[in-house]
Structure 1
């Protein structure tokens, strides 16, 4: 009976280890430096959803990097916040993505609306916001719940 308990315990440890490999804390220190009032685990969940930590990820629409920023959005953020980040550099991509998420949170006052606007852009039709935005929220929040389960300190 003790062998079964030990086997069950070891299985749980291996499972949690594998989960941490699939849900890593990559770039965590950079995220903490840039997230302001956002939960760093939420930001890392956005990165997981957007690019799965592929630094050079590029969408068919031209969004780039870890946080999948459109070049126009990066340019707008640099002008608005008087920064000079290069969205093609991973650390800068995170800084710009955090600036954008923080801005959207302040503007929208709600994390769900902010995430929809982050994903679809501010000028998307209501149909796109409702369809793509809702699916996106589900993905980010699923990742966020897993990250909180694994790493909440």
Structure 2
């Protein structure tokens, strides 16, 4: 009995040890083999199929040709306080190759008379009766724009002595309840002078406390932010561009202003 009991106990212990050992060994080896494979598989999926990049927003879009209204990233240089010298002879007007001519050209003498008459008009008889557009300013702008060529049609659609654009003609006619025709040279001169008068009042009211003097003596230079320079720049660039330039403390298109100011002082047209 004792021998048989010992034999059965021994056999039972052997079964328990073998069964327990196999179970521990199996779990250990499986954990060691499976875990790295799972991690490797996950890394491979991230590498081969990355998450799509977010689409660029409007703030990230870079324009190839930024509009004038946008400020560049770099600091703008301050405008020179010395009078700029035109790179070409301001008196040597040459029409561009794309220009065309419509109808018969009037003489330079008739053109001059029309420009002087347009400058002599009072465009704000009620709100600013003392506002006058200097005749030398009207003549200089017209010479720079057209060389006093009454029948020129420029590449951008500007017409005649003052190179009046269709939109400018419509604006002046609506604003002042007129029916000017830019293709009639005398009325063309009036539209241009009237636009100069409108710019004078607009800038004078906004920046110069209602002072409408276009005297060159009030300008430190041809590129300073005086009323005369701003009006000249506005004729070429429009009021909005001049307003933006003023906010940045600089005169827009100082080259154009410099040429017109030069012609006001010394113009070949004065011989007519």
TM-score above 0.5: yes
Q: Does 1:142 align with 2:237?
A: no
Larger Rg: 2
Q: Distance in 1 between matches of 2:228 and 2:241?
A: 18
Match of 2:99 in 1: none
Residue from 102, 107, 115 that aligns with 2:197: 102
Q: Distance in 1 between matches of 2:147 and 2:112?
A: 14
Higher helix share: 1
Is 138-147 or 54-63 further displaced after alignment? Answer: 54-63
Match of 2:167 in 1: 72
Q: Does 1:112 align with 2:229?
A: yes
Q: Does 1:47 align with 2:142?
A: yes
Which consecutive segments of 4 or more residues in structure 1 shift more than 3 A?
Answer: 22-26, 123-127
Match of 1:15 in 2: none
Aligned residues, how many? 128
Cα distance, 1:42 vs structure 2? 1.5
Q: CA RMSD in A?
A: 2.7
5+ long unaligned stretches in structure 2:
1-91, 94-107, 122-131, 205-226
Match of 2:179 in 1: 84
User: Larger RCO: Structure 1 or Structure 2 (Cα < 8 Å, ≥ 6 residues apart)?
Assistant: 1
Match of 2:116 in 1: 32
Match of 2:238 in 1: 121
Q: Distance in 1 between matches of 2:139 and 2:115?
A: 7
Distance verdict in 2 for CA 1:59–1:124, change over 3 Å: farther
Any idea what SS the aligned residue of 2:239 has? coil
Cα distance, 1:58 vs structure 2? 2.5
Q: Distance in 2 between matches of 1:25 and 1:101?
A: 22
Q: Normalization by structure 2: what TM-score?
A: 0.42
Q: Distance in 1 between matches of 2:258 and 2:109?
A: 20
Q: Distance in 2 between matches of 1:61 and 1:86?
A: 18
Deviations 1:120-144 (A, max 9, x none): 12344858x956x211111111111
Cα distance, 1:87 vs structure 2? 0.8
Deviations 1:84-130 (A, max 9, x none): 11011111110100100011111113111111110012344858x95
5+ long unaligned stretches in structure 1:
1-21
Q: Is the 8 A contact 2:146 2:162 kept in 1?
A: yes
Q: Distance in 1 between matches of 2:201 and 2:267?
A: 24
